[in-house]
Amino acid sequence: MKAIAKSKINLFLRVVRKRKDGYHEIETIFLPLDNPCDTVSLDNSRNGKLEVTCSKASLSGPDNLCYKAAEAFAKSAKIKPTWKIHVTKRIPLAAGLGGGSSDAAAVLRLLQKKYPNKISEAEIFRLASKIGADVPFFLNPVSSFATGIGEKLKPLPIKCRIPIVVVFPRFPVSAKWAYQNRMKSVSKASLDKVFSALEKNDPRRLTSLRNDLAPALWRKFPFLAILKDDLLRSGSLGVEVSGSGSSLFAIAKSSESAERISKTMNRRFACSIRCFTAVVNV
């Protein structure tokens, strides 16, 4: 059994407050991306134990969120976890694109399909929420407005086609670091402006973006500011950090423009970045 694990960007991210349990309340808009994506496979293990392997060897083993997702499912379903899970990794690690969370959600869905009567949908969602804040979104990755720690989801009933360029600068940023070093945001972008642009089916109005985690990254990593400037000079309408970074996303005028921007960035920065293009249908 196999499943595709999508990535995501945060079109808008406002940190509301820090909770007593250490998590942060947020307001965010999740947009799913088909590119980049991972592939997660599930088979019965030959040794009767739970195994998790990955095309990126350092991500194999029990620290992988896929392992934790499988253990949580087995415990809830009261079955022995005798599966071999393999992840073909394409989503960069610690890039703000949700790769680990998406892989974990894919494992839950594959196990739910394998054992359709063992766990309710409500229980699957509860397990996902315990594994990670972004995991519930990836159970049903559709464009959504999220609150709480990201687990309170409301799908966006808006029709808007948004060409996206994602630039990964080939270095990771941990979410923990991003939240611990968060600086005061001076962005005047509001949810109302973003929703208005989406409702009017006008991506060109999405030039004023917001991510409250971004200011610390701009200061810590000057290369990100260089990439942003080049993305804007290449014709991007707006550029922002996705999630806790380190990836940037740029909104393009068209799919053709997105491809041109990607080629231009790859030519200018050669081995320093990885570029992906996608079209989001909100």
Which of 282 and 164 is assigned the larger pLDDT?
164
Q: Which domain does 119 fall in, by range?
A: 2-152
Q: Do both 107 and 144 map to the same domain?
A: yes
Q: Do both 164 and 201 map to the same domain?
A: yes
Q: Do both 107 and 178 map to the same domain?
A: no
Q: What is the CATH number of the domain that holds 130?
A: 3.30.230.10
pLDDT tens digits, 241-267: 999 999 999 999 999 999 999 999 999
Q: What is the CATH number of the domain that holds 235?
A: 3.30.70.890
pLDDT band of residue 185 (cuts 50, 70, 90) is confident
Q: Do both 203 and 147 map to the same domain?
A: no
pLDDT band of residue 22 (cuts 50, 70, 90) is confident
Q: Which of 122, 152, 182 is the last residue of a domain?
A: 152
User: What is the C-alpha separation between 187 and 189, in angstroms, rounded?
Assistant: 5
Whether the Cβ atoms of residue 83 and residue 50 lie closer than 8 Å to each other: yes
Q: Do both 96 and 215 map to the same domain?
A: no
* Residue 23 pLDDT: 85
Could you say which of 38, 103, 134, 212 is catalytic?
Answer: 134
Q: Do both 6 and 116 map to the same domain?
A: yes
> Catalytic residue at 103?
no
User: What is the C-alpha separation between 22 and 97, in angstroms, rounded?
Assistant: 22
* Residue 276 pLDDT: 97
Q: Do both 134 and 172 map to the same domain?
A: no
* Residue 3 pLDDT: 98
Q: Which of 114, 133, 152 is the last residue of a domain?
A: 152
Q: Do both 140 and 162 map to the same domain?
A: no
Which of 127 and 200 is assigned the larger pLDDT?
127
* Residue 73 pLDDT: 98
> Catalytic residue at 8?
yes
Q: Do both 62 and 192 map to the same domain?
A: no
Q: Is the pTM of this model over 0.85?
A: yes
In sequence order, the 6+-apart residues with CB closer than 8 A to the CB of 51 are 45, 83, 84, 85
* Residue 272 pLDDT: 94
Overall average pLDDT of the 144-153 stretch = 95
Q: Do both 189 and 92 map to the same domain?
A: no
SS3 assignment for the chain: CEEEEEEEEEEEEEEEEECCCCCEEEEEEEEEEEEEEEEEEEEECCCCCCEEEECCHHHCCCCCHHHHHHHHHHHHHCCCCCEEEEEECCCCCCCCCCHHHHHHHHHHHHHHHHCCCCCCHHHHHHHHHHHCCCHHHHHCCCCEEEECCCCEEEECCCCCEEEEEEEECCCCCCHHHHHHCCCCCCCCCCHHHHHHHHHCCCHHHCCCCEECCHHHHHHHCHHHHHHHHHHHHCCCCEEEECCCCCCEEEECCCHHHHHHHHHHHHHHHHHHCEEEEEEEEC
* Residue 235 pLDDT: 94
Q: Which of 152, 183, 199 is the last residue of a domain?
A: 152
Q: Do both 171 and 216 map to the same domain?
A: yes
Total domain count, the chain: 2
Which of 208 and 3 is assigned the larger pLDDT?
3
Q: Do both 17 and 128 map to the same domain?
A: yes
User: Can you read off the two tokens belonging to residue 5?
Assistant: 């694990």
